Amino acid sequence: MGPLKLAIIGGGPSSFYVASRLLSLFPQNDTLTSPLKIHIYDRLWAPHGLVRYGVAPDHPEVKNCTHKFDQVAQDPRLHFFGNIQVGPQTPPVIPHALPISLSALKSHYTHLLFSTGCNIPTLHPTLPPSDRVIPALSLVQWYTQHPSRPPPPPLHKTEHVSVIGQGNVALDVARMLLTPPAILEKYDVPSPVLDVLHRSAVRHVSIIGRRGLLQAAFTTKELRELTTLEGTFMTPLAPEILAPLSPPAPSNAKLTRQQSRILQLLQKGSPGSPTATSELPHGIKTKSWSLDFFRSPTGLTADGQYLTLAHTMLDERARAVPTGVTSLLRTDLTVTSLGHHADPSAAYFDPALGHLRTDRGRVLDTAGHTLRRVYASGWAATGARGVLAATMIDAYAVADVILADHFSNGRGEVAKLESGAYSKEDALVADDVDMVSIPKEVEEGVKAGRVVQYDQWKKIDAEELRRGAEMGKERERMGWEEAHQFLTSMGAW
């Protein structure tokens, strides 16, 4: 059996789950001479990807998986290298990330795993980003203090927000904009973000979808949180929207359990009865939100003050088609929440899929041939869908494929695949490697204090938690400059 030295590009949940599975299943005799080594590279200086920079701050329970990741990182066979951009850097740019080429990894690893996620927002064709239109991802990365540093939205002069899309991210954005800052203060919300939210003038959020209630992608939990949000009320829906089954559904169709619960929540609406002059604790006036079904945006008016909407209906295939009726919606800010796709500049990206071409976790070239010992997991392989549990299941399956391929041949060659011949492209990995070596650029970056390793991250993590405790909140985050200065002052480099 030959060595398995794996480079993972991306440090989010999927990469740690793959690492966890490999470390738990791979035979271990002596960790110093182990035939398994795993190096995780991430363009962000802090690990955990979307768990740190994508989960809504008021959902702290979702972040509990980081305890497992901390345990995985204690294994001496695993090393994390943060603040390293492998391959071309495309927006959103991380200005302080150390750039290295993909080819720089080749001579150091026998296996390669892409776990780079989907970090590019899908834009609406008639609503390109502008001072009045921003992708939901930019807003999420603003309130999680992502290293790409998106600017804060102009909430101080925004009363009405239109969110295009009806998935969980859309509801997260609406909830963050409507929740009283006094409630958010106890969570992992950076102080500069709270300052902007305290000055916010937002009074109403319209959550717009081109199809109907039964086609909405949000979950019961996310909807319930909005319907019970303090000081915020749902605009009642029209009776025809709340009909148990919207035409043209088949006469014998039945609601799923989730659809039934969502329908019950929407029929019940928000507790209480709002008035224009209602005042609530913390000096917060009542706010409102609405679910606007069967509306498809076609652009903004020339003055940018109105969103133009085409009214739609469902055809026999449940697709949204225009009815010929249009309307205008007065709005100050439009947030497009239409999903995400992988970086188009990434190796083996398939524009038709929006992610890498794979077959059961194995990466394919443009001809559909399997690359030797090159894999992908998580959203990089499946697209931006599923929750953390689905990510874990996918990651474990990919880890099992890596092990099956490895143990099928002492040299780590890929077993014969049903999908056909192997790729004739230049190999991205080597057969014989130094099990402890890292690329020269990374080694120099470590010495220069540009690369964050996991033990250094844990020092930052502890300090963020300490600062947060002093302020009566979950944590107070650091940006790169502050984290770098903190580690320097501790002599941690």
**What's the CATH architecture for 4-119+341-452?**
3-Layer(aba) Sandwich (3.40)
Residue 387 marked ligand-binding: no
Q: What is the pLDDT of residue 29?
A: 65
Residue 259 marked ligand-binding: no
Segment 249-273, tens digit of pLDDT: 554 568 899 999 999 999 988 886 4
**Residue 386 pLDDT > 60:** yes
Residue 252 marked ligand-binding: no
DSSP string, 349-394: EETTTTEE-EETTEEE-TTSPEEEEEEE-THHHH-S-S-HHHHHHH
User: How is domain 123-338 classified at the CATH fold level?
Assistant: FAD/NAD(P)-binding domain (3.50.50)
Residue 167 marked ligand-binding: yes
**Residue 325 pLDDT > 70:** yes
CA-based torsion, 92, 98, 100, 106: positive or negative = negative
Q: Give which of 18, 303, 291 is closest to 162, Cα–Cα.
A: 291
Q: What is the pLDDT of residue 411?
A: 47
Residue 168 marked ligand-binding: yes
Residue 212 marked ligand-binding: no
Residue 199 marked ligand-binding: no
Whole-structure pTM value: 0.92
Residue spans per domain, the chain: 4-119+341-452, 123-338
Residue 21 marked ligand-binding: no
Percent of the chain with pLDDT over 70: 91
Residue 360 marked ligand-binding: no
Residue 161 marked ligand-binding: no
For the segment 125-148, the average pLDDT, to the nearest whole number, is 97
* Same topology between domain 4-119+341-452 and domain 123-338: no
Neighbours of 66 (CB within 10 A): 17
310-315: long-range contacts, CB 8 A cutoff, minimum separation 24: 312/210, 312/211, 314/211, 314/212, 314/215, 314/246, 314/247, 314/248, 315/248
